[in-house]
Amino acid sequence: MKLKNISIIILLVILLAFKEDKLAYQIYDIKGKESNYSKMLNDAKNADVILFGELHNNPICHWLQLELTKDLYDSKKEKLILSAEMFEADDQIALTEYLQGKLSDKTLKDEVKLWPNYTTDYKPLLSFAKTNHLNFIAANIPRRYANMVYSKGLERLDSIDTEAKKWICPLPMKYDANLKCYDDICEAAEGHNSENLPKSQAIKDATMAYFILKNWSKGKTVIHYNGTYHSNFHQGIEWYLKQTNPDLKVFTIGSTEQAGIDTLAKVSVNMADYIICTPESMTKTSQ
């Protein structure tokens, strides 16, 4: 057998073996073409704000969040700012005191409204910020006020204390019910408080955008961690960011799960600048 033919056979065997591997994830670009982590990282470095959309119970998302944050820090250093949906704005003082070493882990758990999967999924990010003396933004609206919008509407927020309004985006806020992200929520609600449910989502998006911009300045980069639905298809948080600063360079990462990850489903194409696709069978973290 000719050497050329042997080389072709060996290459085919290697490719076949690769195809048979059980990949933990595949990264796609906005057009649904296969991409990789290096390209995603390089594009992220050029952004003012990075919206990292996660699936809350997906370990691959959380691992890649930490890895991307570490790699961005290598080039950005103190110009990198961390931010998250998972911490509510009225907990900012306690969160900052923890980062400064003034609060213990136990006190943080007693004082801050931590998510059930904080220890496995978000503490590593907070610890990285603490070790490297980085700011970490508690960006989300306090849950009680989002619930107030859901039950009573946006107008209900007019009645809360002036001090409490510091933890919310400036009121009145813009709201476009025709945005797909809110229209889809309205349809899914099927009449169950369908008008207020998307508004309770919007007040979260608007508040996160507000605190991101409040802490961002030219030359810095904010990496914000949020549920992927808050930034899918360049809506939600990004829409509110652009309402205030149209020239802001926003870079989005979305996440999705599929039975197989060798091809991105059409429904997920254009979801984000880069899309992390993981198998539906991926082990979940606790919530």
* Contact predicate 137/222, CB 8 Å: yes
> What backbone phi and psi angles, to 5 degrees, belong to 12?
-65, -40
Evaluate whether 108 touches 127 at the Cβ level (below 8 Å).
Answer: no
* CA dihedral (25, 30, 35, 36) positive or negative: negative
Contact 268, 67 (CB under 8 A): no
CB 157 within 8 A of CB 168: yes
CA proximity to 135, closest of 218, 201, 212: 212
Band of pLDDT at residue 234, cut at 50, 70 and 90: very high
Q: How far is CA 152 from the centre of its chain?
A: 28
Query: CA triplet 255, 201, 141: central angle to 5 degrees?
Result: 100
Q: List the beta strands (DSSP E) in 134-214.
A: 136-140
- Predicted pLDDT at 144: 97
Backbone φ and ψ of 26, nearest 5°: -140, 135
User: What's the pLDDT tens digit per position in 249-282?
Assistant: 999 999 999 999 999 999 999 999 999 999 999 9
Percent pLDDT > 90 in the chain is: 87
Radius of gyration, alpha carbons of the chain: 21
pLDDT of residue 18: 53
pLDDT, tens digit (0-9, with 9 covering 90-100), for 217-230: 999 999 999 999 99
Closest CA to 128 of 93, 90, 80, 60: 80
Give the chain's mean pLDDT: 93
Prediction pTM value: 0.92
Q: Domain map of the chain by residue range?
A: 24-279
Cα dihedral sign, 127-130-134-138: positive
- CB 230: neighbour CB atoms within 10 A? 23
Give the distance, in angstroms, between the CA of residue 93 and the centroid of all CA atoms in the same chain. 22
What's the CA gap between 40 and 222, in Å, rounded? 16
| Phi, psi torsion values for 161, nearest 5 degrees | -60, 150
CATH of 24-279, one of 3.40.50.11550, 3.40.605.10, 3.40.50.11540, 3.30.450.40: 3.40.50.11550
Q: Quick one: angle between helices 92-99 and 123-131, nearest 10? A: 60
Question: What is the rounded CA–CA span in Å between residue 222 and residue 213?
Answer: 9
- The model's confidence at residue 21, banded by pLDDT at 50, 70 and 90, is confident
85-106 per-position pLDDT tens digit? 999 999 999 999 999 999 999 9
Q: Where do we find the tokens 């085919």?
A: 12
* SS3 (DSSP) at 287: coil
